A and B are shown apart, each in its own frame.
Chain A
Amino acid sequence: MQPSEQPLLIINGRISDDVWQLIQADATESFKPESGQSYLLPLPQWLASAPDFSGFAGFPGVWINGDDPVEPLTDVVALAPVIAIGFSNFMDGSGFSIASALKETYGFQGDIRAFGSFLPDQAPYLRRCGFSSLAFSNAADAELAYSLLQSAKSATEQSYQGSVDQPRTPFARRLGR
């Protein structure tokens, strides 16, 4: 996973700069937190620094890859404000299930972020699976994803499943359940 230095972010339906700095797994040896900076740490590093996180401005976020096990996140969900899920390839949709499981199984309330290789066209599905922020490495992709999310608002409403936040069975709403 090689995100750009300063990704553009779509968060809460707006394009903004990213305040979270992602620390690569191979950079943790020399890593020293700077005051006032927010960090996304690799899971092992996050677990090693938990729960007091001395030297950090606040609780850091955590990032995992789409094919990592989620069970270690049991300890993370209560403290981490962000869990970022890396997409190694846009054909690999395991991240969609991880985000959904974080919401459903672990009741994670913080920001679920997608980073890495995914398509702007996947943004509406990512949103419905519980991703609340999407980190893009270029402005054109971020803008396209933003416009697709805007136009997909009604498509989410007009869907058979709803979203992980508001799931439904296909006929439930039509029968006024």
Chain B
Amino acid sequence: MYQYDDLDRQVVNNRVAQFRDQMQRYLNGQLSEEAFLPLRLQNGLYVQKHAPMLRIAVPYGMLSARQLRTIAQICQQYDRDYCHITTRQNIQLNWVQLEDVSAILDQLASVDMHAIQTSGNCIRNTTSDPLAGVAADEITDPRPYCEIIRQWSTLHPEFAFLPRKFKIAVIGAETDRASIQLHDIGLQLTHNDQGVTGFKVWVGGGLGRTPMLASLINPFLPESDLLGYLKAILRVYNRHGRRDNKYKARIKILVNSLGVAEFSQQVEQEYQQNYSDEARLSNQEIDYARSFFSEPEYTAVNAEDLDMQAQLNPEFSRWLTRNVQPHKVAGYRVVTLSLKYYGRAPGDVTTAQLRHIADLAERYSFAEVRSTQQQNIILADVRESDLYDLWLQAREMDLATPTAGTLVDTVCCPGGDFCNLANARSIPVNSDIQSRFEDLDYLYDLGDLSLRISGCINACAHHHIANIGILGVDKKGEEFYQVTLGGETGDHSAIGKVLGPSLPKEKIGDAVERIIETYIEHRQSEDEHFTAAYRRLGKDLFKERVYATV
């Protein structure tokens, strides 16, 4: 994991001091609400329904046990004993007081954390593959490049007042586990014929009101040219992106209106004419960034008794099947600690759980964890021989719900319960659906299936890319929900299609049950995934079933 040096600390401390001054001027009435807005947003501070919300940056999802304990301390001292993992791997505090924010930032800075650029029209936290460094299909570890981008984009003077927010994702594996095509810029590490490391560059993806998949604008960008090329993309966007309409301000709209060829050409021209040695990354720099992500000291272990343990304990076996994934090193596994306990809001994690996770990380996974886009926590380096003990201990704190990847591993925004932007609540809808799918055997029979619930068109839960997506809409002051089917993430990213007219809140659980029944009745075999069946069967079959009964 990256370790801060003096410069990193100075950057964060300077920003905390600057923000403290801005906050003081705001509270004294010397800084207007309007002027304070972009300044506080750039520091992760929203004004929410009940209290301000502070979003803490978790760079590409990496957290140390020490950082987890500090977050726990902050939740206990300044919030209501819990926090929320977002769909972009960050952490949200939903109940902080405005006057406490500077003190919270000081505590974060003490463990090399901050809230810089977690909101506002600027370059946001760079996200990545939650299995970075441990996936068997990885070409190159993306994290050193994420860290370089993190630093380059942090307080970049040219790109703090963009037309709209800007999100970058980087992967280093064949399989896309970070939905790069749904980002403003998606980068995939690759090698060219000469063995040089570089990136495939996608631009113009995003969800919201106009969901779009990104387009490939450069099939091979040498790694040394990364920052110069990113700057060229951002500059073309900052100069030509629309500012007259918030809903047409993302880079996807610019790429779409210019056309991919013309946009690429403008980027290329901008890049070529400002090409400079100062912008080039040297091998020395890249190696230095890599040095922070070298492999931990793996020790080979004999795990013969794992099968035996699984046979003897069906519950453990279920958890092993759903929440444990292979690791590139024999004898190790990747473990998902589920934050989808029945009856709780997806992604919420309590102070006690945070401390427990820190303990587990220290005991079993080199004192590091990752937050995931799926709103869970991953322990990336667990010895097979430790799995049983880990499971027992995770279970004590409700962190072992064996449902990772199933229908009830729901991704859900805070929704109308907390968020000012929301048109409808999302958490109660999730609870209703969860309660209908408590039979684990039935859930497992459905296989991998994604459900995502957004409380408004800002689509924080990314409902468009869910197999079953639910979107809260406002109909004359009533909470209604639109259902989309057939969305997918990763290598086959696809935007789901609206099933039909939106439904009232009390009908949405029934609708999901009817959709699942239709799938079960018509799938060709247990191996035919939901989206495959949906594409084969067509929308109408599902639509008729859902609307016949409501």
Query: Could you list which residues of chain A lie within 8 angstroms of chain B, going by C-beta atoms?
Result: 67, 90-94, 96-98, 100-101, 104-105, 119, 121-122, 124-126, 128-129, 152, 154-155, 158-161, 163-164, 167-172, 174-175, 177
* Docked complex Cα distance between A104 and B154 (Å): 21
B289 lies within 8 A of A98 (CB)? no
- Residue B35 lies at the interface, judged by CB distance under 8 Å to chain A: yes
CB distance from A163 to the nearest CB of B (A): 7
User: Can you give 21 A-B contacts (C-beta < 8 A)?
Assistant: A67-B243, A91-B38, A93-B121, A94-B239, A100-B158, A100-B235, A121-B35, A122-B161, A125-B157, A125-B158, A155-B18, A158-B11, A160-B152, A161-B157, A167-B279, A169-B279, A169-B285, A170-B152, A174-B7, A175-B282, A177-B285
Residues of A within 8 A of B238 (CB): 93-94, 96-97
Q: Which 3 A-B pairs have the closest CB atoms?
A: A93-B161, A170-B151, A125-B157
* Docked complex Cα distance between A31 and B510 (Å): 73
* Docked complex Cα distance between A2 and B239 (Å): 22
Nearest to B280 among chain A residues (CB) is A169
B278 lies within 8 A of A168 (CB)? yes
- Residue B14 lies at the interface, judged by CB distance under 8 Å to chain A: yes
A91 lies within 8 A of B121 (CB)? yes
Nearest to A87 among chain B residues (CB) is B161
Count A-B pairs with CB separation below 8 Å: 113
Please name 16 further chain A to chain B contacts, defined as beta carbons within 8 Å, in addition to the given A97-B238, A105-B273, A175-B284, sorted by A numbering.
Answer: A91-B121, A91-B243, A92-B161, A93-B238, A96-B158, A97-B239, A121-B39, A122-B161, A125-B158, A126-B157, A159-B11, A169-B148, A169-B152, A171-B148, A175-B285, A177-B282
CB distance from B150 to the nearest CB of A (A): 9
* Docked complex Cα distance between A159 and B288 (Å): 18
CB distance from A109 to the nearest CB of B (A): 17
A161 lies within 8 A of B239 (CB)? no
A96 touches which of B38, B151, B157 (Cβ 8 Å): B157
Residues of B within 8 A of A175 (CB): 282, 284-285, 288
* Docked complex Cα distance between A48 and B185 (Å): 42
- Residue B476 lies at the interface, judged by CB distance under 8 Å to chain A: no
- Residue B274 lies at the interface, judged by CB distance under 8 Å to chain A: yes
* Docked complex Cα distance between A67 and B151 (Å): 28
Chain A CB within 10 Å, residue with most, of B18, B155, B157, B288: B157
- Residue B536 lies at the interface, judged by CB distance under 8 Å to chain A: no
Residues of B within 8 A of A104 (CB): 274, 276
Residues of B within 8 A of A96 (CB): 157-161, 238
* Docked complex Cα distance between A128 and B152 (Å): 14
* Docked complex Cα distance between A98 and B284 (Å): 32
* Docked complex Cα distance between A53 and B238 (Å): 34
B158 lies within 8 A of A160 (CB)? no
Nearest to A128 among chain B residues (CB) is B157
Residues of A within 8 A of B288 (CB): 171, 175
A169 touches which of B31, B158, B281 (Cβ 8 Å): B281
CB distance from B510 to the nearest CB of A (A): 44
B152 lies within 8 A of A172 (CB)? no
